[in-house]
Structure 1
Amino acid sequence: MGKKRLLRLFVAVLSLVMVIGACGGSDEEADGSPSELSLLTGGTGGTYFPLGGELATIIQDETDIENANAESTGASVENMQILQDGEGDIAFTQTDIAAYATKGELMFEDGKMDNIQAIGTLYPETIQIVTLMESGISSVADLKGKKVSVGAPSSGTYANAEQVLEIHGIAMEGIDAQHLAFDELTEGIQEGTIDAAFITSGTPTGALEGLSAIKPVKILPIEDNKISELVEKYPYYAEETIKSGTYGLESDVKTVAVLAMLVARSNLDEDYVYQMTKAIFDNSNKITHAKGEFITADTALEGVGIDLHPGAKKYFDEKGIE
């Protein structure tokens, strides 16, 4: 066989391989939209996972997407990395974490996340500092020297704990910091292996409801002057109140919150994200989770802090919401 025929045969085989490769091995369509939706949430004991399951059902029912899956993850920080790597489609995160990610700050100082855009904010994520009524701990200042769970290193909860402690004049080295998951920290508090824990989650948080059913709990308040200092230095915080009756509390507890939000890969198809955004915010009345009452198009752009995905922007433009 001559050299020219060999070359033509090689080119033909290579072209065939490329065609076959383009037809399989990827869950993403040519227009940028995945054939299945991967919704990244958080731990099973928090708010993201059960709420994410409801949102996935709404998306599946109200759009052409045949299979929408809510996946349990390590929550905000991990979700940002998964989206950046192109291994998820949309995700829950905190507004402060999304800001850090897109600016390359704090836990993202090794590099900016440039593949993440907002869909909209959902509800307040409350900083809850929990201990037992019997612990003798009554204030944030009392945490000095105590065993306190502050979330995984470089997590959103860790950043919140560090900032709240800082405003109270306590460095992370001033406590015996523990890094426990939701289920582990409630077990630790119940068994007395830790004294208190920071939890950043929508209230009521399932893990804390379970704990309060076993032993009376206390949520430590943050004083007004400390809230003012915190908000002034870190503007993504807002004052929040945990209502009496939550976890069996006898009175309201004043604290702070960031916002939970949904974000998407920026390279998802615009119409695909538009359909998801419309499905969620036009059908929020179908959400049975307690946080459903906060999810509304009218407030979904408050505190976003990063660029909107063009598909989400199209929806809010249609609604006349800026």
Structure 2
Amino acid sequence: MPHPPSPLPHLTRRQSKILQAVAATLVALGLLLWWLLPLGKTPPSGTIIFSTGTRAGVYQKYGGLLNDAIHKDMPDLKVVLKDTAGSQENVRRVANGQSDFAIAAADAVENYLQNHDPHADTLRGVARLYDDYVQLVVPADSDIRTVEDLKGKRVSIGAPNSGVRLIADRVLKATGIDPDKDIQPKAYGIDTGPKLLGHDLDAFFWSGGLPTDGLRNLAEHSAIRFIPIQPSLVAKLHAEGESTRYYRATNMPASAYPSAQNNATVPTMAVSNLLITRSDVDPELVKWLTRTVINSRDRIGHDVHSAQLVDVRTAIYTDPVPLHEGARRYYRSVKP
């Protein structure tokens, strides 16, 4: 006659708590392994150089916050952040091997490719990030109302080799203004232009995420206005071909700089930003970095509002450069 099964031993309250703690630890360990499995168990180490942008600009702030996220995910990876003039310099630095990663606007990347500049064919995309908005700023009491009114004025068109310079030159030319002859061009960035507005400057161009700290501070302490970039002007730019196809007509939301916009949107144009690298950068490193970019969105977006737009569904669209193999592997690993 078979014996009935022995009853389960009774657990004391202390033993039950210990068992629950062990179970919770195993679950946490399993989640950690699930988190790391698509990437490999050992985070990359070494040193990388990351080009950002000018002080008071969004590129630099985003790069600094991304560096914090990288340090948490890859504690043995040292990131050297490099201040630069902006997109055009960043593309050149990555292509020439002076930097491993950089943020750059799509029009600047395409411009580099079309010029057949050195090592252009090595450029690769990691992620599409967020959009830059063109912001043309004047004092509130200025007689400048349209882009055409800039003729004869002292206008900052951005630092040489910046994305701002590329856009400002194109906007002016599309309006019939020669940047070298029809205005008094100044080469200031967002770190300097706001301080000189109304003194040594009548207007300045900026292209950056919304809001840009340097402009937000200016709007909160000075009376300024934004000059509209009308859709008809964007259409003229598109007709010129080249990398102007990356510009899209849009509106700067009223919430960008409330004190300067009087609850009104401002017609302008935008261009997408890309995180770029080179084809020879280690795929495993790029894979880890791509994950950090995607998963740090909310953390970084708390301080850089435009970073909230980073999305795994759109990050793969890094035109005009193909995705780096490491980034491709990451996106495949999280594809539903």
Aligned to 1:140: 147
Task: Give the aligned partner of residue 199 of structure 1.
Answer: 206
- Deviation of 1:130 (Å): 0.7
- Aligned pair count reads 284
Match of 2:320 among 282, 305, 318: 305
Q: Give 2:171's match in structure 1, choosing from 159, 164, 185.
A: 164
Instruction: Note the residue ranges of structure 1 that are not aligned, 5 or more in a row.
Output: 1-32
Partner Cα separation in structure 2 for residue 168 and residue 34 of structure 1: 50
Q: So what's the TM-score if we normalise by structure 1?
A: 0.82
**Structure 2 residue aligned with 1:214, among 191, 199, 221?**
221
Look up the match of 1:286.
299
Q: CA RMSD in A?
A: 2.0
- Whichever residue aligns with residue 242 of structure 1, its letter is M
Which residue of structure 2 aligns with residue 261 of structure 1?
Answer: 274
Q: Is the 8 A contact 1:123 1:294 kept in 2?
A: yes
Unpaired runs of 5+ residues, structure 2, are 1-43
Question: Which residue of structure 2 aligns with residue 13 of structure 1?
Answer: none
Residue 240 of structure 2 is aligned to residue 229 of structure 1: no
The Cα of 1:232 is off from its aligned counterpart by: 4.1
Whether 2:105 is the aligned partner of 1:94: answer: yes
1:242–1:255 Cα contact (<8 Å) kept: yes
Q: What one-letter code is carried by the residue in structure 1 that aligns with 2:286?
A: V
CA apart distance, 1:318: 3.0
- Taking the aligned partners of 2:216 and 2:250, their CA distance within structure 1 comes to 19
For residues 281-304 of structure 1, the C-alpha deviation after alignment (integer angstroms, 9 at most, x for no partner) is 133222222112111111113352
Which entry has the higher C-alpha Rg, 1 or 2?
2
Matched to 1:36, the amino acid is: T
> Is the 2:87–2:161 Cα contact (8 Å) retained in structure 1?
no
Identity %: 26
Q: TM-score, normalised by structure 2?
A: 0.79
3-state SS of paired residue (1:125): strand
Distance 1:48 1:139 in 2: 28
Question: Which residue does 1:185 correspond to in 2?
Answer: 193
The aligned residue for residue 130 of structure 1 is: 137
Q: Write the distance in 2 (CA, Å) between the matches of 1:180 and 1:308.
A: 33
Shift of residue 194 of structure 1? 0.9
Cα gap change, 1:65 to 1:88, in 2 (>3 Å): farther
The equivalent residue for 2:82 is 71
**2:47 match:** 36
Q: Deviations over 1:71-122 (max 9, x none)?
A: 32222122222223323221111111111223326xx5xx453432111111
Q: Check the 8 A contact 2:253/2:265 in 1, yes or no.
A: yes
Deviations 1:135-168 (Å, cap 9, x if unpaired)?
Answer: 1211111111111000123432111011111222
Q: Counterpart of 1:242?
A: 252
Rounded Cα–Cα distance in structure 1 between residues aligned with 2:236 and 2:189: 29
- 2:252 & 2:55 partners in 1: Cα distance? 22
